[in-house]
Amino acid sequence: MDKDLFNRIYEKPDQAPWTDASIYEEFKELFVSKKVLPCPTLEVGCGEGYYSIYLASQGFRVTAIDWSINAIKNAQKNAKKASVSVDFFVGPWQIIEQIEDCFDFVFDWRFLHDLLDEQERKKYIEKISEKVKPGGYYLSFSFSDKTTTSNETGKIRLTSVGNRCYFASQKEFEELMSPFKIISKKEIIIPREKDRESIYNLFLMRK
Ligand SMILES: C[S@@+](CC[C@H](N)C(=O)[O-])C[C@H]1O[C@@H](n2cnc3c(N)ncnc32)[C@H](O)[C@@H]1O
């Protein structure tokens, strides 16, 4: 999907179909269990910022980027409301190269399936691995090819929002994540309208 479409979707706060201020249990569990302790953290494709804000409220120092200016404006307001501080940046994911820091924890939540080009996906993971400190964690959550969609099959499919997303198998994900050691992998099922459901690959990795 292009940046302008995202900007239109984010014109009004909390209207994006994926925005949800309540944080998924599978995400929270990592921190409640103390598997990942408060540390310098990077989120890519943060949207309206709720996941970064949750971590900031748990004592994490968070940098978050998104290429949609409207998403970041909403995220800044949300952070203010929650009385937490997050370093938000507007730009394409490639701006992570300009951020000097490396991080103990990097994550993307419903972002990776927006990268449709195989070469770009590989490049992205390569760059993410440069941003994770040795011993640090990378968490990624994106569409599985097991998601039921109405009209299309294959890896790249039209979604209800009118954009195309990349639906990856677990095996493909494992190959893509080769710079990392996979700690855990799960399929998360999220019911949608009628008999359809979205299925996501959730991978926790370590460098
Ligand atoms: C499906 S949304 C998920 C947002 C957020 N993580 C959430 O779960 O609510 C994907 C986000 O990635 C951003 N995005 C998509 N492609 C991008 C790119 N090439 N560079 C930076 N951000 C991008 C979009 O603007 C959007 O906010």
Q: Which domains does the chain carry?
A: 3-15+23-206 (3.40.50.150)
Residue 92 identity: P
Which of 193 and 134 is assigned the larger pLDDT?
134
pLDDT in tens, 36-91: 999 999 999 999 999 999 999 999 999 999 999 999 999 999 999 999 999 999 99
> What letter does residue 35 receive in the DSSP assignment?
S
**How far does residue 51's CA lie from ligand 1's centre (Å)?**
12
Find out whether the beta carbon of 66 lies less than 6 Å from any atom of ligand 1: yes
* pLDDT at residue 163 is higher than 90: no
Spatial separation of the C-alpha atoms in residues 4 and 29, rounded to whole Å: 34
Average of per-residue pLDDT across 162-166 = 89
Alpha-carbon distance values, 11 to 46, 73, 116 (Å)? 15, 10, 24
Find out whether the beta carbon of 27 lies less than 6 Å from any atom of ligand 1: no
**How far does residue 111's CA lie from ligand 1's centre (Å)?**
5
Q: How many Cβ atoms from other residues are within 10 Å of residue 156's Cβ?
A: 12
- pTM for this prediction: 0.97
> What letter does residue 23 receive in the DSSP assignment?
P
Spatial separation of the C-alpha atoms in residues 199 and 190, rounded to whole Å: 6
Nearest CA to ligand 1 atom 19: 92
* pLDDT at residue 166 is higher than 90: yes
Find out whether the beta carbon of 47 lies less than 6 Å from any atom of ligand 1: yes
